[in-house]
Chains A and B, each alone.
Chain A
Amino acid sequence: MSYLELSHVQKSFGPVKVVHDFNMSIEEGEFVSFLGPSGCGKTTVLRMIAGFETPTGGTITIGGVNQNGLKPNKRNIGMVFQAYALFPNMTVAQNVAFGLKVAGASKAEIDARVKEMLDLIHLGHLEDRYPYQMSGGQQQRVALARALANKPKVLLLDEPLSALDAKIRVSLREEIRAIQRKLGITTIFVTHDQEEALSISDRIVVMNAGIADQIGTPSDIYNRPATRFVAGFVGTLNILEAKVENRDAGTVRLGSRSVSIPPSQLNGSGDGAAITVALRPEALSLSKSPSSDVTLDGRVTSVNFLGSVIRTRMDVDGQQVSFDMFNNPGLQPPQIGEMATAHFKASDVLVIPN
């Protein structure tokens, strides 16, 4: 049995079912991200684990102990909120000490633990500050220290970086991951930012409309999306309509080209069947490499400068295809209206289950 088990968990608010039959096993020390758009049910699942929402059905166990019916203050689960939720009337040290005081720890024990936690987040010098005297990033680090002070069984992070600016988000997410690795604490991180989820998670749960569409490693989720939703939500994807030419040979017609893909990817689609295939923009290139064996010709419809890369979009037999090229000041990007040829490997083609 895994450390944290969610078994057939459901949640309805009146007639509206927001979580449908959610199942997941999380190992001790694992860092799992719940990724999905707003309203997909990811925060509801998190709140059910914390005890703030009661599941309509199913069970949640931590370390083999059923959590159903257990009040939030009896679960020993650390939680970090998007809005920091530091107590405004308490200093940094008092905030971190709060849970320990409530638990009845001795003064010496509290002092030592508060110091340890503040050193962990590198804010020992700000222990006498009040939350309003600190930046958002500092406040969120204090919130993290406060959540960890009681040595919780599970750490829940509810979009903790959403209210921060881009640079702080990147540095803080790395800090969160480093602290999690150091303490080895089982962590669930809720986010709608795919880059965040991909960069720090052991596993990702992609949620859509109350259902876990796919659970897998970041590499699995990105490279082998299980559903069209996952493919479209995680990263940018070219979705193209194709037709199976020969199921046994694994050939499909993509525009005017015939492309060979592993027959196993066709999922039993017969000859002549319409299928959806996908290509990541970074899989396509204007220059031919020894491994690229397929080409697509089209007319350039837009060129967007994104800093380190230039994203070009072209029309291939009525279908829009985007591809990325690294920004090189010495190389002229294609011009709108020009004809261009994009090269890619047939093995990069993903068949998306409909």
Chain B
Amino acid sequence: MTAKKFWSWLAVAVAAVYFIVPLAATMEFSMRMRRGTYSFDAYRSVFSDQRFAETFSYSVVMALITIVVGALLIVPTAYWVRLRMPYLRPVVEFVTLLPLVVPAIVIVFGYLRLYNSSSVLPLTNSDTGTNILLVFGFMTMSLPYMYRAVDTAMRTIDVAVLTEAAESLGASWTTILFRCIFPNVLTGVLSGAFITFAIAVGEFTMPSLLNRPAFGPYLALIGANKAYEPPALAMIAFAMTWVSIILINITTRLQKGAAGAR
């Protein structure tokens, strides 16, 4: 083994230890609920908790709504900016980056100030209204990732020429968008969707301050009151993130052939 290879492998090993040791420790601790032996009691306890099912399913539904609404907002926006208003791209890119620098707590306080019960649009007056607000919040937080994923996917196809080809064949704008453009940026939409899913399911600040029964606040509550269930929940959350990453990879590979030919 050459010296260069040795150092490369050493770097990989150090990185692996950095990532794996805390995970292994968390996993190990989550399995020590039963004294003197390893067991999945903590996981059993988590899964048998009614609130786990309720909060998790609530967060999943909110995440799915966020993904659908987000895709319907971002795909046409990215398409239009690329096709007709390329001069607006720097502005749109800047706006989509803002959620990275504006903390979630600031965003949610802004929402509460704008949409409280005494405002013109009192969304916080009802559960449905507050849920809508939460979806908007999740959409805002996932904007940097969703927009970039979709925009990058659009870069791999010639949006202008495909649009003109479809137009010359008699297609309307909705047909062009949903039958010619959307399927070709599906990889980007799915990548953005998985990241959005991970953000929405694990988010604490927004649902907590909007008082919604979401998975994030439940994680915090359990973490503050129990010993073995929090690491079990952390492992479950990690698993969900990994599944999302694996799905991103699979969808990217599935469309790689087509992208390569463009």
Contacts and interface: CB of A to CB of B under 8 A. Distances in A.
A78 B167 CA distance: 10
Q: Report whether over half of chain B's contact residues are helix, strand or loop; otherwise say mixed.
A: helix
B94 to A, nearest CB: 26
B164 A85 contact: yes
Contacts, number: 80
Contacts of B183: 89
B162 A72 contact: no
B262 A132 contact: yes
A130 interface: yes
Contact of A87 (B162, B164, B172, B257): B162
A47 B97 CA distance: 37
A52 B168 CA distance: 9
Nearest to A47: B164
Contacts of A130: 258, 261
A73 B171 contact: yes
B162 A85 contact: yes
A132 B164 contact: no
Contacts of B179: 87, 98
Contact of B168 (A79, A83, A86, A131): A79
Given A87-B184, A88-B262, A102 B168 contact: no
Interface string A83-126: 10111110000000011001100000000000000000000000
A133 interface: yes
Nearest to A130: B258
A292 interface: no
A86 B161 CA distance: 9
B180 interface: yes
Nearest to B168: A79
B158 interface: yes
A54 to B, nearest CB: 14
Contacts of A131: 261
A184 to B, nearest CB: 20
A203 interface: no
A147 B258 contact: no
A73 B161 contact: no
Nearest to A72: B167
Interface string B63-86: 000000000000000000000000
A102 B176 CA distance: 10
Contact of A132 (B161, B170, B258): B258
A214 interface: no
A75 B169 CA distance: 9
Report the interface size class on chain A: 20 to 34
A187 to B, nearest CB: 14
A150 interface: yes
Interface residues of B, number: 25
Contact of A88 (B168, B172, B261): B261
Given A72-B164, A87-B184, A150 B169 contact: yes
A79 B172 contact: no
A103 B170 contact: yes
Contacts of B162: 85, 87
A53 B186 CA distance: 30
A146 interface: yes
Residue of B172, B180, B259 with highest tally of chain A CB at under 10 A: B180
Contacts of A150: 169-170
A73 B175 CA distance: 11
B164 A81 contact: yes
Contacts of B172: 73, 102
B260 interface: yes
B239 interface: no
A241 B167 CA distance: 51
A52 B179 CA distance: 20
A99 B169 contact: yes
A78 B261 contact: no
B132 interface: no
Interface in B144-191: 157-158, 161-162, 164-172, 175, 179-180, 183-184, 186
A75 B164 CA distance: 13
Contacts of A276: none
A77 B261 CA distance: 27
A57 to B, nearest CB: 23
A132 B261 contact: yes
A73 B168 contact: yes
Interface string B199-230: 00000000000000000000000000000000
Given A88-B184, A89-B184, 4 more contacts: A50-B168, A71-B167, A87-B184, A88-B261
Interface of B: 157-158, 161-162, 164-172, 175, 179-180, 183-184, 186, 257-262
Per CB-CB distance, the 8 closest pairs between chain A and chain B, nearest first, are A132-B261, A99-B169, A85-B165, A89-B183, A79-B168, A72-B167, A85-B161, A102-B170
